[in-house]
Structure 1
Amino acid sequence: MMGATNFVWLTFDSVRGDRTSIGGYDRETTPTLERIGRRDDGYAGSCFSHALWSQPSVASMMTGTYPSMHGLGSHNEVLPDSIPTVAERLSEAGFETIGISANPFFSESTGTHRGFDRFDFVNGTELAREAGVRGSLSFVRNLRTFSGGFTLERQRHNPDYLLNEIVKDRLQDGAEGDDPFFLAAHYYGLHHPYFPSPKYRETFADDLPMSADEAAELALSNSRDVYERIAEGPIDDPEAATALDNMYDAQVAQVDALVAGLLSYVDNLGLGDDTIVVITADHGDLLGELGLYSHKLVLHDALVQVPLAVRGSEAVVDAAMANAQHADVMQMILSELDVDTDGMHGAELTEGPRETVVAQRGDETREKTLSAVREFEPDYEHEHVLAGMVTMLRTDEWKFVTGTDGSMLYRLPDESEDVSDDYPGVVERFETTFDVWMDEHGQPLDSGDHREFDDDVKSQLADLGYVVE
């Protein structure tokens, strides 16, 4: 091991790469992440997730394997014991391992907690207790800056400020320990419904045809029930669509400001020169592309291309980061820390860029989503939604998506027209690539472990808009 270098991995839910200023967006939504990119030891840009929703994406981040193998979000409810977690690898290498999550899919319920010496899964009712008196009082003082203001309606409050206070406490614990530490935290981020704080909803208000408060209410109403929103199709009121877009961007800026405070805390603890920090998202969100919303059905770039900012990693700074994926970054940093990476699926970006990006969506995700949407529109169908375990293979020019009922080819950046009939040779090449990839990395492992989420977790998942049976 290379001494006292610590490793912090921060995941924010549902942040699109193309709505960040490090992803080329024309609004300055992420100045903190931009500053990371200007550091000599920093990188800021985009990367690709391995899935379009939290459960499989988190499992891929925390194992460095692909969804069809680990099976979370498809054929497994719990991570197979035969797949080592990143925390287990780091623990074996002598790191203290600390996990904090506000998302049930990164918790003991899915086995993704394995290998953490201390793991805190905190739902909404436990956040204040875990944050303590100091953190709770600080949250109250910042209700209008980092949450929904003075209201008792739970969906108007973002718990990330309280979660951040817990992360700060765990960072201090790590700093006081004798061993290097690994800390992984999963934040609520931009998970729908969108309702930025009173302070940040004003960030881009000059572009609004209404007041920022009115826009926030419209965005909340149009993102509260995503299945009804999908059933109704694209928002036909231009002002309501503008409000949704604007409030999403405002909440990205809110997340960026939270990151700024946390990084300052890391530096004030004296950890800044001794800690690799990764900031990313598990997936993005659709805001009307293909007439869809949320993160449920299709492997669109709005869902699989996410922000990535890294500071303190020489390997990442020197790597070919075009088309990087989460598993690549995780594997590269573990190698930099002299931690075993055998069995991980990351590409060796220090040797050159990844040629093909791979992301997947399980059939259960499609079935549950369509069932919920058809409660509002019984005949609902969508031409771009394939059945089965769907795999996306993406290059700079092409995106090939294949499932059990066929495949589609898109010529990027367009993802609305299937051009398979026009380019049969390209389709054939992707089919060959897919067969080789499946043999090497995609074969499923069965955990054989089936468990129920408890009532508190089911309630939290329902609040997040997931179908819980």
Structure 2
Amino acid sequence: MGHPNIAVVVMDTARAADTVPADPAVMPTLAELAAGGTAYTNVFTSAPWTLPSHASLFTGTYASRHGAHGGHTYLDEGFVTLAEALASEGYETVGVSNNTWITEEFGFTRGFERFEKTWQLVQSETDLGGVTRAKHASGKVNAFVSQALSGNPLVNGLNAVYDQFFRASDDDGAARTTAWLADWLTERETDRPFFCFANCIEPHIQYRPPREYAEPFLPDGAYEEAMAIRQEPRAYDVGEYDLSDEEFSLLEGLYRGELAYLDAKIGEFRDALKAAGEWEDTVLVVCGDHGENVGDHGFLGHQYNVYDTLLHVPLMIHGGAFEPATGEDELVQLLDLFPTLLDLAEVDAPNARDQAQGRSLLTDGPARESVIAEYVSPQPSMEQLEERFGEVPGYMYEYDRSLRAIRTGEYKYIRGSDGSEELYDVEQDPQERFDLATTEPDIAAELAAELEGWLDSFEEAETDGEVEMTDATKGRLRDLGYL
């Protein structure tokens, strides 16, 4: 295909168990695309939440190497990003984000010629999210006045009106993302190949899919009841409220409805590529950045653990060398996409290749024997929870530790900085219910040694602590359950 167009669509918070090929009824468009491409069924992210996972996707490195995590929420400039590598070889680079983490504020726009934040009508560094979140008119006015003079007041006013009155309440940005990409494809005046990235946040809490997409996954007449369920992961963590099994079941229905809605928008993006005459020259990658706990292991959201509900993600690649096939047995790390896409684009980029810790999916040779995941620092930290909720239950401090995991096709070993160990036979116990660390110490020790050897194989990043955020950004991230 020469230098193909490359389009990467990240389904934020999409776990493998609810997507294809596990359950194609949820996402028929993706099932169709997978049937014409390569669907990988044994794919694992390197981190269980958005910022470190995207940093790994963008750089081909693990969190300990790139240094973007809960203790340092910024992708430092010492690494070549995928967009930078492709731009250096003449690719047109555009990005669209629906997640507050994936913005210039956290170092993710390097290498992109254009980068769109869908919650703004006119792109600006001034975020007026506080206007939207204020519950009363006086609060909205105060929030607007306090921020409106930062930057261009006219632009700020337009964005405030758009965010408050014109953004759809049952769409988290997928519709605008698809429309923006379709317009861009129609209007572009260059014959350069393109790299297009889109983060779609629909599956992320809060789950609020349109009725017609949610009802197939809910009991008859239960849509309003499901939509009324409180969805605040951190408040749930600290015991401010509880959820029953029935309520979690309804939330799972809404979650699948979000995936079904996003699937329709991915179909519209495919149609836009066809209408622009670009489909045959485009390699389309659709993946999840991490998964989700919807009551699994006692959690709501995707923090404080590294179980497969958070690490096992979907990956489908259509076009180019990716002919109809399903990678049933091959262990794949999501950061393997970095060298894979460089190979697809036939880009040398020696600095980028030298930093990469992944394995190209186009490389012949022995397959991976294991995958690694890290939760370098709790997000939010215990201090942030105390700041928000005041007194925090004692059990929460058990999560005040880092975690690393190594997983083979048969076993999963988890080690905490607090000295804790867990071992699961994921072949016989895929839901990770029965901890074998004390009954199978030899296996645990073998995997612990392999994990230690991996960590010793590279130099860890040196970071200078927490990154300052604007109040508006903190508010948006709090809405998403991160603070």
TM-score (norm 1): 0.84
RMSD, aligned α-carbons: 3.0
The 5-angstrom pairing of residues 333-344 of structure 1 reads: 333-339=341-347, 340=349, 341-344=353-356
- Give 2:309's aligned amino acid: A
Aligned match of 1:187: 200
- Residues paired across the two proteins, number: 433
Aligned match of 1:214: 224
* Aligned-partner SS, 1:431: helix
- Give 1:20's aligned amino acid: T
* Larger CA deviation: 283-292 vs 114-123: 114-123
The 5-angstrom pairing of residues 152-231 of structure 1 reads: 156-174=170-188, 176-205=189-218, 208=219, 210-218=220-228, 221-223=229-231, 225-231=232-238
Q: Is the 8 A contact 1:387 1:403 kept in 2?
A: no
Aligned match of 1:345: 357
The 5-angstrom pairing of residues 53-452 of structure 1 reads: 53-123=49-119, 156-174=170-188, 176-205=189-218, 208=219, 210-218=220-228, 221-223=229-231, 225-232=232-239, 237-314=244-321, 322-339=330-347, 340=349, 341-349=353-361, 350=363, 351-365=365-379, 367-368=381-382, 371=385, 375=389, 378-381=392-395, 387-406=400-419, 407-412=421-426, 413-441=430-458, 443-448=459-464, 451-452=467-468
Aligned match of 1:466: 482
* Larger CA deviation: 232-241 vs 426-435: 232-241
Q: Is the 8 A contact 2:382 2:400 kept in 1?
A: no
Shift in Å, 1:315: 5.4
Shift in Å, 1:409: 1.3
Structure 2 Cα separation of the partners of residues 104 and 409 of structure 1: 35
Q: Is the 8 A contact 1:88 1:115 kept in 2?
A: yes
* Aligned-partner SS, 1:360: strand
Shift in Å, 1:402: 1.2
- Give 1:363's aligned amino acid: S
Shift in Å, 1:169: 2.3
- Give 1:177's aligned amino acid: T
Q: Is the 8 A contact 1:47 1:324 kept in 2?
A: yes
Structure 2 Cα separation of the partners of residues 459 and 233 of structure 1: 19
- Give 1:251's aligned amino acid: E
- Give 2:93's aligned amino acid: T
Q: Is the 8 A contact 1:50 1:304 kept in 2?
A: yes
Shift in CA distance, 334/458, structure 1 to aligned 2, threshold 3 Å: same
Displaced runs of 4+ in structure 1, greater than 6 A? Answer: 151-155, 316-319
Q: Does 1:43 align with 2:60?
A: no
Structure 1 Cα separation of the partners of residues 167 and 115 of structure 2: 28
Q: Which residues of structure 1 form unaligned runs of 5+?
A: 128-150
* Aligned-partner SS, 2:52: helix
Q: Is the 8 A contact 1:33 1:44 kept in 2?
A: no
Shift in Å, 1:236: 5.6
Shift in CA distance, 433/319, structure 1 to aligned 2, threshold 3 Å: farther
Structure 2 Cα separation of the partners of residues 315 and 369 of structure 1: 46
Structure 1 Cα separation of the partners of residues 254 and 276 of structure 2: 34
* Aligned-partner SS, 2:285: strand
CA displacement 1:248-293 (0-9 Å, x = unmatched): 1122111111111111111111111101111112111101111111
Q: Is the 8 A contact 1:80 1:445 kept in 2?
A: no
CA displacement 1:409-461 (0-9 Å, x = unmatched): 122214233211111111111121112111224x3223559652223322322
- Give 2:255's aligned amino acid: Y
Shift in Å, 1:73: 1.4
Q: Which residues of structure 2 form unaligned runs of 5+?
A: 124-164
Aligned match of 1:146: none
Shift in Å, 1:307: 1.3
* Larger CA deviation: 268-277 vs 345-354: 345-354
- Give 2:265's aligned amino acid: L
* Aligned-partner SS, 2:9: strand
Aligned partner (choices 31, 35, 41) of residue 34 of structure 1? 31
Shift in CA distance, 237/436, structure 1 to aligned 2, threshold 3 Å: closer
- Give 1:29's aligned amino acid: V
- Give 1:194's aligned amino acid: Y
Structure 1 Cα separation of the partners of residues 326 and 340 of structure 2: 9
CA displacement 1:301-337 (0-9 Å, x = unmatched): 1111111111013158689672212111231121122
TM-score (norm 2): 0.81
CA displacement 1:106-130 (0-9 Å, x = unmatched): 1111112111122223435658xxx
CA displacement 1:177-214 (0-9 Å, x = unmatched): 12111111111221111111022122234xx1x51323
Higher relative contact order (CA 8 A, sep 6+): 2
Shift in Å, 1:164: 1.9
Aligned match of 2:157: none
- Give 2:367's aligned amino acid: P
Shift in CA distance, 157/33, structure 1 to aligned 2, threshold 3 Å: closer
Structure 1 Cα separation of the partners of residues 465 and 31 of structure 2: 43
Shift in CA distance, 409/187, structure 1 to aligned 2, threshold 3 Å: same
Shift in Å, 1:54: 0.6
* Aligned-partner SS, 1:222: coil
Q: Is the 8 A contact 2:303 2:379 kept in 1?
A: yes
Structure 2 Cα separation of the partners of residues 336 and 152 of structure 1: 40
Shift in CA distance, 126/244, structure 1 to aligned 2, threshold 3 Å: farther
CA displacement 1:140-177 (0-9 Å, x = unmatched): xxxxxxxxxxx989865422211221122233345x31
Shift in CA distance, 312/186, structure 1 to aligned 2, threshold 3 Å: same
Shift in CA distance, 454/265, structure 1 to aligned 2, threshold 3 Å: same
Structure 2 Cα separation of the partners of residues 67 and 348 of structure 1: 19
Structure 1 Cα separation of the partners of residues 282 and 222 of structure 2: 38
Shift in CA distance, 34/115, structure 1 to aligned 2, threshold 3 Å: same
